[in-house]
Amino acid sequence: MAEFDVDLFVIGGGSGGVRAARIAAGHGARVTIAEEYRMGGTCVIRGCVPKKLFVIGSHIHHEIEDAAGFGWTIPPVSFDWNTLVANKDKEIARLEGIYTANAEKAGALVLKTRAVFEDAHTLRLADGKTVTAKYVLIATGGAPNHGPAIPGIEHAISSNEAFHLRQLPKRVVIQGGGYIALEFACIFAGFGTDVTVLYRGDNILRGFDEDVRAHVRAEMERQGITILTGCTVQKIDRHGKEFTTHLSNGSSLASDLVMFAIGRHPNVANLGLENAGVAINPNNGGIEVDGWSKTSVPSIYAIGDVTHRINLTPVAIREGHAFADTVFGKRPVQVDHSNIPTAVFSQPEIGTVGLTESEARAKFSRVDIYKTDFRPIKSTMSGRDTRILMKLVVDGTTDRVVGCHIVGDTAAEIIQAVAIAVKMKATKADFDATFALHPTAAEELVTMRTPTARYVREAAAE
């Protein structure tokens, strides 16, 4: 009789957990995966996928406006919010079914239930039954964080609820300056909503390259989005269907909706982690893991947003795959978290990989910057007042391209290919030797010959 009921028990049916379950099952492991809500996790159910669908929908408004410059006369059009939401729901349900089917086809048993630790090898399910496992993988993701409690915080929604609004608001106040806040600001603005963004810092997109931060803010403001920095929400009052948001600078705003998008916290509560002895990282509140995604308990691993390392779906997937190969495939794999490409689906879109200018200048003694800011060919005909930013950050000693930052249409599509070159340690000479593809915006990446700035210091930081 086997010592354990299963070889692997995965808590969480998101992208990372499902990938780990499928790969482990492929290696011959007996796998059970438990998901208390819907298979697919944050990305598929209430994150990147529905968000991208909303982004595409809102961008059509721009396309209709731009059509006139190309000779198209389009009669007045109308938009129905509830049709968008209903069609989005159908697509998410389809993807949820695929996630479940793929896990089951791989040989994993899918349980639609909550699982809580009783000890390091025992999980108790919602129906009271227990399952023992040789290894347990925690892949419970994260959840929106509303921050410190303020009067009226119960009136604010998170991005979770934004996907299920019964009607499109005419005025929205959004607190936050990161990915989610800016993406929803542009989504709502694209559909015609009056949008105000509030951020406590001096500028939006903390952690991004300074030129990117300035460029995106200017573009968003050009579209009519109000961005107020250096202030936060202090109180929210409700008056029937309207809200008054009181700010730390003493002013107030009236709106039909208040949204908080100030970050996400790891889903570690009420999992019984204390029963298993799993340690929490005191610095970020996520589950403490080593380079192999192993927790403080040898039989328990954790991947994805619940570790609060790098909260991106492809990272969770890579970590889940590496875990399964390491533990069940007899092929130790450590995830390299450097040079991870990322995108912000704001309007304009952001694509970035590698180091920012400030990070490179702190790391290298010589840094060359190549930067261009131009009007795309489409705008010359449509008359739209928008500009594209492209920037290369180069280690001046080795000539290696250590960072690339793009703001403009299809920036994410372009940066995915550029990330391969950066990961392969391509040099600026390699970029220069590559033929331009004309006429494209991306050709600028291989035609920037002269540095716009050069920085030299005596010694690099240790």
Binding site annotation covers 272?
A: no
Centroid of chain to Cα 346: 11
pLDDT of 417 strictly over 60: yes
Residue type present at position 391? K
Binding site annotation covers 183?
A: yes
Categorize the per-residue pLDDT at 462 as very low, low, confident or very high, splitting at 50, 70 and 90. Answer: very low
Distance CA 302, CA 293 (A): 6
With the C-alpha atoms ordered 10, 11, 17, 18, is the resulting torsion angle positive or negative? Answer: positive
Binding site annotation covers 263?
A: yes
Categorize the per-residue pLDDT at 58 as very low, low, confident or very high, splitting at 50, 70 and 90. Answer: very high
The pLDDT score that the predictor gives to residue 459 is 57
Residue 349 · residue 407 · CB < 8 Å:
yes
Cis check: omega of the bond before 282, within 30 degrees of 0:
no
The mean per-residue pLDDT over the stretch 422-440 comes to 97
Task: Indicate which residues carry an active-site annotation.
Answer: 438
Residue 210 tokens, joined: 């300074």
Distance CA 60, CA 79 (A): 10
Q: Which residues face 404 on adjacent strands?
A: 353, 392
Return the biggest CA–CA distance within the chain: 75
Those residues whose C-beta lies under 8 Å from the C-beta of residue 97, and which sit 6 or more positions away, are none
pLDDT of 245 strictly over 50: yes
Q: Which residues face 140 on adjacent strands?
A: none
Those residues whose C-beta lies under 8 Å from the C-beta of residue 130, and which sit 6 or more positions away, are 118, 122, 123, 124
**Own/partner pairs, 271-279, CB within 8 angstroms, 24+ separation:** 271/11, 271/116, 271/117, 271/138, 271/140, 272/116, 272/117, 272/118, 272/124, 273/117, 275/116, 275/117, 275/118, 275/119, 276/117, 276/119, 276/120, 276/136, 276/300, 277/120, 278/117, 278/138, 278/302
Rounded to the nearest integer, the mean pLDDT of the chain is 95
Categorize the per-residue pLDDT at 1 as very low, low, confident or very high, splitting at 50, 70 and 90. Answer: very low
Residue 266 · residue 295 · CB < 8 Å:
no
Binding site annotation covers 176?
A: yes
Binding site annotation covers 134?
A: no
Domains and CATH numbers, the chain: 6-144+265-327 (3.50.50.60), 153-262 (3.50.50.60), 342-456 (3.30.390.30)
Binding site annotation covers 178?
A: yes
Binding site annotation covers 180?
A: yes
In this predicted model, what pLDDT tens digit does every residue of 128-170 receive, in sequence order?
A: 999 999 999 999 999 988 878 899 999 999 999 999 999 999 9
- Residue corresponding to tokens 């108790």: 124
The pLDDT score that the predictor gives to residue 99 is 93
The pLDDT score that the predictor gives to residue 381 is 87
Residue 201 tokens, joined: 């810092």
Residue 72 tokens, joined: 């198209």
Categorize the per-residue pLDDT at 383 as very low, low, confident or very high, splitting at 50, 70 and 90. Answer: confident
Categorize the per-residue pLDDT at 2 as very low, low, confident or very high, splitting at 50, 70 and 90. Answer: low
User: In the chain, pLDDT over 90 holds for what percent of residues?
Assistant: 93
Ramachandran assignment for 175, one of left (phi > 0), alpha (psi -120 to 50 degrees), beta (any other): beta
The pLDDT score that the predictor gives to residue 52 is 96
The DSSP line for 140-202 is: --EEE---S--TTGGG-B-HHHHTT-SS--SEEEEE--SHHHHHHHHHHHHTT-EEEEEESSS
Residue 260 · residue 244 · CB < 8 Å:
no
Q: Which of 234, 216, 156, 226 is nearest to 193 (CA)?
A: 226
In this predicted model, what pLDDT tens digit does every residue of 333-349 receive, in sequence order?
A: 999 999 999 999 999 99
Count Cβ atoms within 10 A of the Cβ of residue 353 and give its class: 0-12 exposed, 13-18 middle, 19 or more buried. buried
pTM over 0.75: yes
The mean per-residue pLDDT over the stretch 233-261 comes to 95
